[in-house]
Chains A and B, each alone.
Chain A
């Protein structure tokens, strides 16, 4: 996979502990004035040429948001955010829609090259016949700031009947589907950040896999924050019909800057009978400098609903970036025998703070959930696992297994585990295991005696610690994630 190889190389070039993806692309921007009010929302809606119902939906969300207050229960601390001091819309100025990659701003393509995901290579890939036994190609819906500039692979996907497009396009071209599902898993008023997102979201992905279709390739979106002071409000909706399946990959990098940047995404997944959705994330937003200045604030609401019987939703995340992470990818297990999984690695270094975990809500009979959360703290960072397992009265035979392991590097970091367990059914079986450990001197010395450098030894031990999670990632991501883990922890030992 050339694209993937280059991604890997790009990651490898990050040989030093400083964040190297701190470049900014010089492209003309079409930007809304700072501030948030109904006029701005109308502006966003009109720039996106949205139908009336979409505008109404946004305005209702905005009203809800105005009545809400920012949640303060997470174990993260940051200065107050001035929501009026940000731009809520920024789009690269474009000629009437690029018909092909040739029409895409070359500056933009160069940005992707720096990131290691050259679109032209992916376009080439689209035309390449994949021999038997080779890995499935990866489709990338590239989100550059707020507007999706180019979408590849669409043709192959169309033939399979899969819709994979920017959500703004889906609002116009598949309004019935979007209207039917948008906000059904994460209602606008679910929380402060989801309400904000619902009011001002500018782009994101829409995926629809029809009945019985196994998506012929892994779908991938690379996010990237670019414009100064522009909050990113991605909105992703994935609907998988009966007996269908999809694997979705999300990876993030962001350029360096001084101001803190707000990121409040919402992701909704819907799985019908026997459907399966695998959602994988490698998150590497700029974490701030060694003193924690300038990192991304990442407030994400991700939730999936297993509506159908025997459906399955699996979240896998590797979180190495952001100054603040507030994120709880969750599963509502409604269908009988449905399965929810959450595999997470969260790494914090320097001054990073992460409060992340999951919620498994068991509604249906014989529903099952698995939670494997690995937390690694280094430097002066603080990391919290916060998870809820709730079994409702009708969920007879429900089962959960939770394992939370924390690894501490150095003596100035913190790791916290906050499990909430609520069972309203006598037949439920819930298991929770937790460990906290440090990388031992014995282990480091053993590795070094065998010829490994100290940093390689830490990388090896940390990757071993995370193995149960990393093995859930698609192959391309797993390699990148392993490298990222090591890079994120560089300078944390010795």
Chain B
């Protein structure tokens, strides 16, 4: 129970055109509070699937293993319950919600989790003040709060919007699924700073990335390499630099 996030032997499959396709084949991962862990690995190794399974996406069927969060059985919870419990997923491809005002969406979400966490709901004025400050810290244009959720946003704007949501929802555990992809150097720094502002002894993150660049700003505690649905190797921050220089081939060969 001392552990914060504990994943053990997690297997999951997806129904692809009537065929069951095994994607996660026994993931073991443990993240203590206050740490930032990174998952790297070749395309198709199951990184995004792991993030979806942890967040509760129904398309994936968990066939074996466990995942506990704050000692609770994460896999038995609805997606919104996981959100209320403090889990946040920054989507690799944020979803557009046509006609839904971004500020309204954010406030609805923030108040939904506040309600579930037994906190008082924020009124429109208090919320907007908070949202504007958070948006400003992420160098977002003020009109982004007025626009429809992710509609017509550039790639970089969408990613910043994810970090804005994360900031406002105040999770204790955030999964960032390639939040750095498609960002220029400045945007990357701003997003990383957004994550760093949340860092606290009670906040952990699981960062999925292909690039060392983001890690220069984030300074992770542990690096995990994922391949064929399992964590095949874990190490300190130096592992990421090694992969950046040498690629995955060497590590994959070692475990094969």
Query: Which A residues contact B (CB, under 8 angstroms)?
Result: 440-443, 445-454, 456, 460-461, 463-468
Contact between chains at B78 and A448 (CB < 8 Å): yes
Contact between chains at A451 and B109 (CB < 8 Å): yes
- In residues 74-96 of chain B, which contact A (Cβ within 8 Å)? 78-80, 82-84, 88-89, 91, 94-95
What's the nearest-Cβ distance from chain B to residue A372, in Å? 12
Contact between chains at B80 and A442 (CB < 8 Å): no
Closest Cβ neighbor of A443 among chain B residues: B95
Q: Is B207 an interface residue (CB 8 A)?
A: no
Are A446 and B91 CB-contacts (below 8 A) given A451-B116, A461-B100, A464-B99? Answer: yes
Contact between chains at B99 and A465 (CB < 8 Å): yes
Closest Cβ neighbor of B105 among chain A residues: A460
Q: What separation, in Å, do the CA atoms of A449 and B95 have in the docked complex?
A: 11
- In residues 158-216 of chain B, which contact A (Cβ within 8 Å)? 165, 169
Closest Cβ neighbor of A460 among chain B residues: B100
Contact between chains at A468 and B99 (CB < 8 Å): yes
Enumerate chain B residues within 8 angstroms of A460, measured Cβ to Cβ: 97, 100, 105, 108
Contact between chains at A456 and B59 (CB < 8 Å): no
- In residues 40-86 of chain B, which contact A (Cβ within 8 Å)? 55-59, 78-80, 82-84
Closest 4 CB pairs of A and B: A464-B99, A464-B100, A467-B99, A450-B109
Enumerate chain B residues within 8 angstroms of A442, measured Cβ to Cβ: 95
A-B contact pairs, 5 of them (CB 8 A): A445-B95, A448-B56, A448-B79, A452-B108, A453-B80
Enumerate chain B residues within 8 angstroms of A466, measured Cβ to Cβ: 99
Contact between chains at A450 and B165 (CB < 8 Å): yes
Contact between chains at B109 and A463 (CB < 8 Å): no
Contact between chains at A441 and B59 (CB < 8 Å): yes
Closest Cβ neighbor of A466 among chain B residues: B99
What's the nearest-Cβ distance from chain A to residue B118, in Å? 14
Q: What separation, in Å, do the CA atoms of A443 and B149 have in the docked complex?
A: 11
Q: What separation, in Å, do the CA atoms of A443 and B57 have in the docked complex?
A: 11
Enumerate chain A residues within 8 angstroms of B99, measured Cβ to Cβ: 463-468
Q: Is B145 an interface residue (CB 8 A)?
A: no
Contact between chains at A443 and B83 (CB < 8 Å): no
Q: Is B112 an interface residue (CB 8 A)?
A: yes
Q: What separation, in Å, do the CA atoms of A448 and B91 have in the docked complex?
A: 13
Q: Is B98 an interface residue (CB 8 A)?
A: yes
Contact between chains at B83 and A461 (CB < 8 Å): no
Enumerate chain A residues within 8 angstroms of B105, measured Cβ to Cβ: 447, 450, 460
Enumerate chain B residues within 8 angstroms of A456, measured Cβ to Cβ: 108, 112
Contact between chains at A464 and B112 (CB < 8 Å): no
Other-chain contact of B98, A446, A451, A453, A465 (Cβ < 8 Å): A465
Q: Is B148 an interface residue (CB 8 A)?
A: yes
Other-chain contact of B83, A441, A450, A468 (Cβ < 8 Å): A450
Q: What separation, in Å, do the CA atoms of A485 and B165 have in the docked complex?
A: 26
Q: Is B27 an interface residue (CB 8 A)?
A: no
What's the nearest-Cβ distance from chain B to residue A345, in Å? 12
- Which has the most chain B C-beta neighbours within 10 Å: A449, A453, A465? A449
Are A445 and B109 CB-contacts (below 8 A) given A461-B97, A463-B99? Answer: no
Contact between chains at A452 and B59 (CB < 8 Å): no
Q: Is B113 an interface residue (CB 8 A)?
A: yes
Contact between chains at B100 and A453 (CB < 8 Å): no
Enumerate chain A residues within 8 angstroms of B79, measured Cβ to Cβ: 445, 448-449
Are A452 and B91 CB-contacts (below 8 A) given A441-B59, A443-B97, A463-B100? Answer: no
What's the nearest-Cβ distance from chain A to residue B119, in Å? 12
Enumerate chain A residues within 8 angstroms of B110, measured Cβ to Cβ: 451
Enumerate chain A residues within 8 angstroms of B78, measured Cβ to Cβ: 448
Q: What separation, in Å, do the CA atoms of A49 and B97 have in the docked complex?
A: 56
Contact between chains at A446 and B80 (CB < 8 Å): no
Q: What separation, in Å, do the CA atoms of A465 and B100 have in the docked complex?
A: 8
Q: What separation, in Å, do the CA atoms of A456 and B95 have in the docked complex?
A: 17
Contact between chains at B95 and A451 (CB < 8 Å): no
Q: What separation, in Å, do the CA atoms of A356 and B165 have in the docked complex?
A: 40
Contact between chains at A449 and B100 (CB < 8 Å): no
Are A448 and B95 CB-contacts (below 8 A) given A461-B100, A464-B148? Answer: no
- Which has the most chain B C-beta neighbours within 10 Å: A441, A442, A451? A451
Q: What separation, in Å, do the CA atoms of A464 and B151 have in the docked complex?
A: 12
Contact between chains at A452 and B97 (CB < 8 Å): no
Enumerate chain B residues within 8 angstroms of A465, measured Cβ to Cβ: 98-99
Other-chain contact of A449, B59, B89, B97 (Cβ < 8 Å): B89
Enumerate chain B residues within 8 angstroms of A440, measured Cβ to Cβ: 95
Contact between chains at B55 and A449 (CB < 8 Å): yes
B13-32: CB near A (< 8 Å → 1, else 0) gives: 00000000000000000000
Contact between chains at A446 and B112 (CB < 8 Å): no
What's the nearest-Cβ distance from chain B to residue A352, in Å? 23
Enumerate chain A residues within 8 angstroms of B169, measured Cβ to Cβ: 450-451
Other-chain contact of A451, B58, B83, B94 (Cβ < 8 Å): B83
Contact between chains at A452 and B112 (CB < 8 Å): yes
Q: What separation, in Å, do the CA atoms of A126 and B59 have in the docked complex?
A: 57
B135-166: CB near A (< 8 Å → 1, else 0) gives: 00000000000001000000000000000010
Contact between chains at A452 and B80 (CB < 8 Å): yes
Enumerate chain A residues within 8 angstroms of B58, measured Cβ to Cβ: 441, 445
Q: What separation, in Å, do the CA atoms of A282 and B113 have in the docked complex?
A: 32
Enumerate chain B residues within 8 angstroms of A463, measured Cβ to Cβ: 99-100
Contact between chains at B83 and A449 (CB < 8 Å): yes
Q: What separation, in Å, do the CA atoms of A468 and B100 have in the docked complex?
A: 11
What's the nearest-Cβ distance from chain A to residue B100, in Å? 4
Q: What separation, in Å, do the CA atoms of A440 and B150 have in the docked complex?
A: 15
Enumerate chain B residues within 8 angstroms of A443, measured Cβ to Cβ: 95, 97
Closest Cβ neighbor of B91 among chain A residues: A446
Contact between chains at A446 and B108 (CB < 8 Å): no
Enumerate chain A residues within 8 angstroms of B97, measured Cβ to Cβ: 443, 446-447, 460-461, 464
Closest Cβ neighbor of A448 among chain B residues: B79
